[in-house]
Amino acid sequence: MSVDVTKSKTRNRFKPKISRRVLLDLVLVTAGIAAFFVFPNSLGFMTRILIMIIMVLSLDLVLGYAGVASLGHAALFGTGAYAAGMFAVYASANPLLGLVVGAVAGAVIAFVSGLILMRASGLTLLMLSIAVAQILFEVVNSERDLTGGSDGLLGIDMDPILGIYAFDFFGRTGYWYALIVLVLVFILLRIVVASPFGLVARGIHESHERMRAIGTSVYWRLVGIYTLAGGIAGIGGALSAQVTELVSLESLGFNLSAEAMIMLILGGTGRLYGAIFGTVIFMTVHHTAASIDPFNWLFVIGGMVLFVVYFVPEGFMGLPARLGKHLGLRK
């Protein structure tokens, strides 16, 4: 009898959490669909938001779940972009094959660089991650015949998706394409973070020593997590190349890595939803503030970061809970 009561309480305790999660998923998907019809003249900008969400999600897997800080994440994104772009120019313009190529390229670079990066920590890790991105930046810039150098990789002309849906000037196909890929990536990450692999990542974040004590190979687990994140970032880069039909050196630049880090901090690390909300908030504020004052928009972003760091360390995703606790609505 007591066992049945315990099981019933356990089911009741987890049921609200599951329903709230499903409800939020439905709200986000509905918002993505509705945005297409509400902002038909801003599809290019919104597609860029969707692509950046994928990149920030991959960073969240590394930083938020595994606790590995990196300021060179653009190396993985840019590798995927250039790989997919060159594949389209020199081999095949099939978008789905290009996504696979971008994912594999990002994962390979992440694995190779991760063999070195995952042996470091703290400031050393940050500097090494920046160094990897800068090395790739210089390699791409020097190979002008293949990559276009500082002029960017031009001549990308993608085939229709599945041979049916052609990319159009207004960005309709590109938006739906990016939205569907984002949903699939989110589902994949949801499965990963709930799996034993994801739980190990959380354990490593909490304490390397404890995980080693129970027999976990921390180093190789971190390499595996970084490789998976590289593949996802590569998908984001490939999407960027295919939708814009252009790849520039900015996709490997430090600014992109720093902005992705800020987006994640604003939304909240260790939460997949935080990557989504943080990216939307950052890019919307950036777009609006820069249109009002192109020279001083960083003051607005800086103010938001200071607010989060000092008042809501969990990010904007933690703001409702903090307000509820402050107002006495939650204990």
CB 293 within 8 A of CB 86: no
Please report whether residue 310 resides in a domain.
Answer: no
Residue 233 inside a domain? The answer is yes
Q: How many CB atoms lie within 10 A of CB 222?
A: 22
| Residue 115 included in any domain | yes
Q: Number of structural domains, the chain?
A: 1
- Domain with 124, as residue range(s), is 47-256
Per-residue pLDDT of the chain (331 residues; tens, 9 = 90+): 444 544 444 444 444 445 677 788 888 899 999 999 999 889 999 999 999 999 999 999 999 899 898 899 999 999 999 999 999 999 999 999 999 999 999 999 999 999 999 999 888 999 999 999 999 999 999 988 888 888 889 888 899 998 888 888 788 999 999 999 999 999 999 999 999 988 998 998 888 888 888 888 889 999 999 999 999 999 999 999 999 989 999 999 999 999 999 999 999 888 888 899 999 999 999 988 888 888 778 888 888 889 888 888 888 887 777 776 666 655 4
Residue 251 lies in a domain: yes
23 Cβ contact list (under 8 Å, min separation 6): none
Q: Which residue has the tokens 């969400």?
A: 53
pTM over 0.85: yes
Question: CA distances (Å), 66 to each of 58, 106, 165, 224, 325, in order?
Answer: 11, 18, 38, 11, 28
The token pair at 198 is: 């994801």
Q: Is residue 282 part of a domain?
A: no
CA torsion sign for 135, 141, 146, 148 is positive
Report yes or no on 304 lying in a domain. Answer: no
